[in-house]
Structure 1
């Protein structure tokens, strides 16, 4: 008969043979696969960030509505200021909404600055299909 100690001398537990099934070997790590997945994730997130910046974050084409007046059943006059690169131009999307928030008019307007200007102030008459409540500039972008 052999002696069995309550605590084994090594750090690993000792199980009776055949009693608990086969023990798994420690899995081998795949650092190359993990690195490739990390690079792919960074690339996808970078593409998303660039697209969102182009859509919403270009400070060279910033628009502010000064006022909207001349509201009738078929139009609104929108006064707005656009910041563009010096001497550049921009295409701005204007829209009118009714009291319920439904869009009743939309139009793209091109504005151009003089060679020494960065800001352009302009007024545009936006035709509508119903009486508008508000006139606004949705966004401005560089001309195509």
Structure 2
């Protein structure tokens, strides 16, 4: 019995084309494409953040109460830039989350701009349980 030990396969010359040598692969185009994709994704995220992410009109609920079955008083704080006004949409809901009333109000900026505390009444169709500030945007 004879045993042949070959460390590398032997192929007939010219039959299978040129053999690649083991070692470094050409992954540079893949790395460049991944880096360019990452830069594009970060640029897109930054653009959307600048457009939609941070707003100068940022409302914060302070509280609410129900003085009657047909009204809710919503108290909130909103930051308004100097020389501008905010248009805020208020909403009153019941325990199940159904909308019972909405109201849009205009909040003028204080001298020098900054935060304004506002307390407004929202008319409702039934006794409300929760008050929301849906949004605040530039008035006009």
* TM above 0.5: yes
Query: Which of the two has greater strand per residue?
Result: 2
Q: In structure 2, what is the equivalent of residue 105 of structure 1?
A: 101
| Pair 96,25 (structure 1): closer, same or farther in 2 beyond 3 Å | farther
Q: Does residue 81 of structure 1 match 2:96?
A: no
| Pair 102,141 (structure 1): closer, same or farther in 2 beyond 3 Å | same
TM-score of the superposed pair, with normalisation by structure 1: 0.64
What displacement does 1:53 show?
5.8
Aligned mates of 2:27, 2:64 — CA distance in 1: 64
TM-score of the superposed pair, with normalisation by structure 2: 0.66
How many residues align? The count is 131
More displaced stretch, 47-56 vs 67-76: 47-56
Aligned mates of 1:57, 1:141 — CA distance in 2: 12
Structure 1: which 4+ aligned runs deviate by more than 6 Å? none
What displacement does 1:133 show?
0.5
| Unpaired segments ≥5 residues, structure 2 | none
SS across alignment from 2:95: coil
Q: In structure 2, what is the equivalent of residue 47 of structure 1?
A: 44
SS across alignment from 1:65: strand
What displacement does 1:41 show?
4.3
Q: In structure 1, what is the equivalent of residue 59 of structure 2?
A: 63
